[in-house]
């Protein structure tokens, strides 16, 4: 009986240590995944800025250039929802993306403000999200 109890205690200790190791590995992997998402989020925001520059400096196919802006902003929006960041910031990025999709005529005139907001967001400045929210608020949602 004493031998069984000792084996049970040893098995419990080994199982407990294995559980702690598993939890530590899970936390480490979660941090790595978040870092990958964050890196991709910033890459997509960089691409949005590049696309805006291409749109404003370019000649010719403006529709294609605008679609690239929308596409890269949509990708950044998708990664924003995978990141651990405040819901208000996620909502701002989502609303900016929605405005790009729904109100292209108005947003084409506001690309400079969008570029400034995206650059500030990418620099991890809170004012970037405030600028983005102000940009969204300036759009006439009735489409006039």
Give domain status of residue 2, yes or no. Answer: no
Q: Is residue 5 part of a domain?
A: no
Burial class (CB in 10 A: 0-12, 13-18, 19+), 44: buried
74 found inside a domain: yes
Contact call for residues 44 and 79 (beta carbons, < 8 A): yes
Residue 144 included in any domain: no
Whether residue 95 lies inside any domain: the answer is yes
Q: Dig out the tokens for 117 from the structure.
A: 């907001």
The number of distinct structural domains making up the chain is: 1
**What pLDDT was estimated at residue 3?**
83
At 93, list the tokens. 């990025």
Residue 117: per-residue pLDDT: 94
Q: Report the 10 Å Cβ neighbour count for 118.
A: 29
Main-chain dihedrals φ then ψ at residue 14, nearest 5 degrees = -65, -45
Measured in residues, the chain has a length of 144
Say what the pLDDT of residue 144 is: 55
Residue (of 106, 144, 122) closest to 135 by Cα position? 106
Q: Let me know if residue 50 belongs to a domain.
A: yes
- 14 occurs within a structural domain: no
For the full predicted model, state whether its pTM sits above 0.95.
no
Q: Find the CATH number of the domain harbouring 86.
A: 1.20.120
Per-residue pLDDT of the chain (144 residues; tens, 9 = 90+): 788 899 999 999 999 999 999 999 999 999 999 999 999 999 999 999 999 998 988 777 888 999 999 999 999 999 999 998 999 999 999 999 999 999 999 999 999 999 999 999 999 888 999 999 999 999 888 755
User: Is there a domain that residue 25 lies in?
Assistant: no
Q: Could you tell me the residue range of the domain that residue 49 belongs to?
A: 34-138
């Amino acid at each position: 009986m004493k031998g069984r109890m000792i084996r049970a205690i040893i098995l419990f200790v080994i199982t407990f240590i294995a559980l702690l190791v598993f939890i530590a590995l899970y936390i480490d992997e979660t941090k790595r995944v978040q870092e990958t998402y964050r890196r991709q989020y910033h890459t997509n925001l960089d691409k949005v800025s590049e696309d805006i520059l291409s749109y404003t400096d370019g000649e010719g196919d403006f529709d294609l250039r605008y679609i690239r802006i929308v596409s890269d902003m949509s990708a950044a929006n998708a990664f924003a929802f995978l990141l651990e960041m405040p819901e208000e910031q996620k909502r701002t990025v989502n609303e900016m993306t929605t405005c790009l999709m729904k109100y292209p005529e108005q947003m084409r005139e506001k690309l400079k403000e969008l570029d400034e907001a995206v650059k500030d967001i990418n620099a991890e400045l809170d004012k970037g999200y405030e600028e983005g929210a102000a940009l969204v608020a300036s759009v006439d949602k009735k489409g006039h």
